[in-house]
């Protein structure tokens, strides 16, 4: 079949097509065009690649394909610094030079705003991470059993576990745990949980780290409350990995969320101590904290400086967590109301306000949408840092009703950010869009958007 004869409706899934990759899309896909003009999304490709691809899925307007052969390599490419890259699903862009990763993330944010929100705006260059490797302060490893205890990460596009003994984006203390924990668990006779049939106990090892205080926390997640092997695992782990400061047992019956549920401290203080430029935090085992300490610190500084607080503002901090932004906002404004649905995070946020001697912070434990719907006070500034699903229509419409002078929206997903900005843009102009590289070696990107009310 000649190229002229190929149309959008008669692509044969067994054929190979030569595609030049022109752009990069959020989700880790290179975008090119098939003969006939249909857009094709190819995982693991980058602008400048000339690739031979096989169609895996065809829709009316786009197609998806897998890379079969790389005919010409993009100048963006480099050798990945991980022996598991391409098998493990943790990183998608480790084979891209770091400066190009930053450029691609800037383009991704701009493209999502243009495509989803129909917003054409200048996006500032992505601010880099201080650490390209070893930056993560939390990793969720899974246990499985295959002629012995296996500990690792999920295979790309699969639930199968890739056994790993080191991870370049993790601190060295995590790698030490990866090295010794499988043998310790094997010796303990702990039964490994099988999610397919629901038997066994031990599910995950979650590692957490404080870059500011050099503290490491090991969290063992079990399906049931009983964890009699925990004492043996604790003693062996402290002997073989003495750099671990806290050992926690979390009881979690859910297979959907890794880190939640009641917990017991088996060793240590049971919290991570984190210090930024002006504030201190205590982070409980199951509470959320930004995954890259150095970038989180830069974001707090950026948000509070860009808001240009004068000391008289009433601030509403939505999805406040343990107070990552709350504390600095309180230092610079009249009053902060922090809204957080998680009891653990909210309780930690109150404690963190006390630790920092802040008396102008009030924590509200509530669902954010329900809280803003009932909110009948005034707020000069609203800061929101929602989870990956974004704030959503309900919250955004209530923000429009409340009508603060300024909004700072912190997002870890540019597609849901774009969806929400389309709503907020009805009454607010975008002053700045600033991506931060919270997640080097992956396609994920954190973005801060500053907005001002149009009638100011």
Averaged pLDDT for residues 140-165:
92
Q: Where are the alpha helices (DSSP H) in 308-444?
A: 326-332, 343-355, 368-374, 392-402, 414-424
Say whether 412 is catalytic.
Answer: yes
Angle of CA points 178, 183, 186, to nearest 5°: 125
Token representation of residue 30: 């290179």
> What is the C-alpha to C-alpha distance for residues 449 and 123, in angstroms, rounded to an integer?
10
- Indicate which CATH number applies to the domain containing 9: 2.40.50.140
Averaged pLDDT for residues 124-140:
97
Q: Which helix (H) or strand (E) holds 116?
A: helix 98-116
Give the pLDDT confidence score for residue 379 in this predicted structure: 97
Asked whether the predicted pLDDT for residue 180 surpasses 50, the reply is yes
Say yes or no: 317 and 270 in one domain: no
Q: How confident is the model at residue 11 (pLDDT cuts 50, 70, 90)?
A: low
Which of 82, 88, 167, 412 is an active site residue? 412
**How do residues 214-257 score in pLDDT, each as one tens digit?**
999 999 999 999 999 999 999 999 999 999 999 999 999 988 89
Kindly compute the dihedral angle of the four CA atoms of residues 149, 154, 155, 158, in this order, to the nearest 10 degrees.
Answer: 110
Say yes or no: 263 and 332 in one domain: no
Say yes or no: 184 and 309 in one domain: no
Say yes or no: 400 and 449 in one domain: yes
Say yes or no: 148 and 125 in one domain: no
Asked whether the predicted pLDDT for residue 33 surpasses 50, the reply is yes
Averaged pLDDT for residues 46-67:
94
Let me know: does 177 contact 240? Beta carbons within 8 Å. no
Taken in order 175, 180, 184, 187, the sign of the CA dihedral is positive
In a domain, 96, yes or no: no
Averaged pLDDT for residues 23-43:
93
Token representation of residue 100: 């190009």
Q: Residue 361's closest CA among 326, 332, 392?
A: 326
Q: Which residues have CB under 8 Å from 10's CB, separation 6+?
A: none
Asked whether the predicted pLDDT for residue 8 surpasses 90, the reply is no
Question: What's the order of all strands across the beta sheet hosting 263-267?
Answer: 161-163, 149-154, 138-145, 202-210, 215-222, 246-251, 263-267
Structural domains counted in the chain: 3
Kindly compute the dihedral angle of the four CA atoms of residues 96, 102, 103, 106, in this order, to the nearest 10 degrees.
Answer: 130
| Secondary structure letter of residue 171 according to DSSP | -
Asked whether the predicted pLDDT for residue 83 surpasses 60, the reply is yes
Q: How confident is the model at residue 1 (pLDDT cuts 50, 70, 90)?
A: very low
Token representation of residue 276: 């930024």
Averaged pLDDT for residues 288-308:
97
Q: How confident is the model at residue 156 (pLDDT cuts 50, 70, 90)?
A: confident
Q: Residue 340's closest CA among 387, 298, 293, 381?
A: 387
Angle of CA points 14, 16, 17, to nearest 5°: 135
In a domain, 297, yes or no: yes
> What is the C-alpha to C-alpha distance for residues 433 and 117, in angstroms, rounded to an integer?
14
The whole-chain average pLDDT of the chain stands at 94
> What is the C-alpha to C-alpha distance for residues 7 and 4, in angstroms, rounded to an integer?
8
Domain that holds residue 108: 103-130+292-453
User: Residue written as tokens 């009881």?
Assistant: 251
Greater confidence, 209 or 4? 209
In a domain, 8, yes or no: yes
Q: Residue 52's closest CA among 64, 37, 65, 39?
A: 65
Q: Among 240, 275, 310, give the residue marking a domain's end.
A: 275
> What is the C-alpha to C-alpha distance for residues 73 and 49, in angstroms, rounded to an integer?
5
Let me know: does 377 contact 410? Beta carbons within 8 Å. no
Q: How confident is the model at residue 397 (pLDDT cuts 50, 70, 90)?
A: very high
Q: Residue 371's closest CA among 335, 409, 341, 327?
A: 341
Give the pLDDT confidence score for residue 451 in this predicted structure: 98
Give the pLDDT confidence score for residue 15 in this predicted structure: 86
Let me know: does 151 contact 163? Beta carbons within 8 Å. yes
Let me know: does 216 contact 243? Beta carbons within 8 Å. yes
- Indicate which CATH number applies to the domain containing 268: 2.40.50.1070
In a domain, 98, yes or no: no
Q: How confident is the model at residue 6 (pLDDT cuts 50, 70, 90)?
A: very low
Q: How confident is the model at residue 14 (pLDDT cuts 50, 70, 90)?
A: confident
Say yes or no: 260 and 309 in one domain: no
In a domain, 35, yes or no: yes
User: Residue written as tokens 């909110």?
Assistant: 375
In a domain, 94, yes or no: no
In this structure, the strands spanning 335-340 and 314-318 are parallel
> What is the C-alpha to C-alpha distance for residues 167 and 152, in angstroms, rounded to an integer?
10
Give the pLDDT confidence score for residue 402 in this predicted structure: 97
Q: Kindly report whether the global pTM for this prediction surpasses the value 0.85.
A: yes
Averaged pLDDT for residues 9-32:
84
Q: How confident is the model at residue 3 (pLDDT cuts 50, 70, 90)?
A: very low
> What is the C-alpha to C-alpha distance for residues 263 and 250, in angstroms, rounded to an integer?
4
Say yes or no: 232 and 169 in one domain: yes
> What is the C-alpha to C-alpha distance for residues 114 and 421, in angstroms, rounded to an integer?
11
Give the pLDDT confidence score for residue 7 in this predicted structure: 45
Averaged pLDDT for residues 125-135:
98
Specify burial of residue 286 (Cβ count, 10 A radius: 0-12, 13-18, 19+). buried
In a domain, 444, yes or no: yes
In this structure, the strands spanning 149-154 and 23-25 are unpaired
Q: How confident is the model at residue 455 (pLDDT cuts 50, 70, 90)?
A: confident
């Amino acid at each position: 079949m000649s190229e002229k004869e190929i149309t959008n409706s008669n692509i044969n899934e067994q054929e190979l097509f030569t595609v030049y990759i022109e752009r990069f899309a959020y989700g880790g896909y290179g975008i090119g065009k098939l003969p006939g003009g249909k857009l094709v999304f190819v995982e693991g490709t980058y602008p400048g690649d000339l690739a031979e691809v096989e169609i895996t899925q065809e829709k009316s307007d786009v197609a998806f394909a897998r890379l079969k052969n790389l005919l010409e390599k993009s100048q963006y490419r480099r050798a990945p610094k991980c022996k598991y890259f391409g098998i493990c699903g943790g990183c998608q862009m480790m084979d891209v030079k770091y400066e190009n990763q930053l450029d691609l993330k800037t383009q991704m944010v701009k493209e999502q705003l243009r495509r989803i929100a129909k917003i054409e705006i200048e996006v500032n260059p992505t601010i880099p991470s201080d650490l390209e490797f070893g930056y993560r302060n939390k990793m969720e490893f899974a246990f499985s059993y295959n002629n012995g205890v296996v500990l690792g990460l999920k295979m790309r596009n699969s639930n199968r576990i890739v056994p790993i003994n080191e991870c370049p984006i993790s601190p060295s203390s995590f790698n030490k745990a990866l090295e010794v924990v499988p043998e310790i668990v094997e010796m303990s006779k702990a039964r490994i949980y099988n999610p397919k049939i629901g038997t066994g106990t031990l599910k995950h090892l979650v590692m957490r780290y404080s870059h500011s205080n050099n503290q490491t926390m090991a969290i063992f997640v079990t399906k049931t409350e009983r964890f009699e092997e925990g004492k043996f695992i604790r003693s062996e782990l402290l002997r073989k990995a003495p750099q671990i400061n806290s050992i926690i047992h979390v009881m979690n019956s859910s297979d959907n969320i890794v880190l939640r549920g009641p917990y017991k401290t088996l060793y240590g203080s049971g919290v991570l101590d984190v210090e930024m430029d002006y504030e201190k935090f205590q982070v409980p085992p199951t509470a959320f904290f930004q995954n890259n300490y150095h970038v989180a610190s830069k974001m707090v500084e950026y948000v509070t400086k860009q808001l240009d607080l004068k000391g008289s503002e009433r601030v509403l901090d939505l999805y406040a967590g343990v107070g990552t932004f709350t504390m600095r906002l309180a230092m610079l404004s009249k009053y902060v109301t922090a809204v957080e649905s998680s009891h653990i995070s909210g309780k930690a946020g109150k404690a963190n306000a006390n630790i920092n001697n802040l008396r102008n912070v009030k924590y509200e434990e509530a669902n954010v949408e329900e809280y803003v719907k009932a909110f009948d006070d005034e707020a000069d500034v609203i800061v929101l840092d929602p989870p990956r699903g974004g704030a959503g229509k309900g919250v955004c419409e209530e923000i429009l009703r409340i009508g603060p002078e300024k909004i700072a929206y912190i997002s870890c997903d540019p597609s849901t950010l774009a969806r929400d900005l389309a709503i907020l843009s009805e009454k607010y102009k975008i002053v700045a869009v600033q991506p931060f590289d919270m997640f080097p070696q992956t396609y994920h990107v954190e973005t801060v958007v500053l907005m001002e009310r149009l009638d100011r």
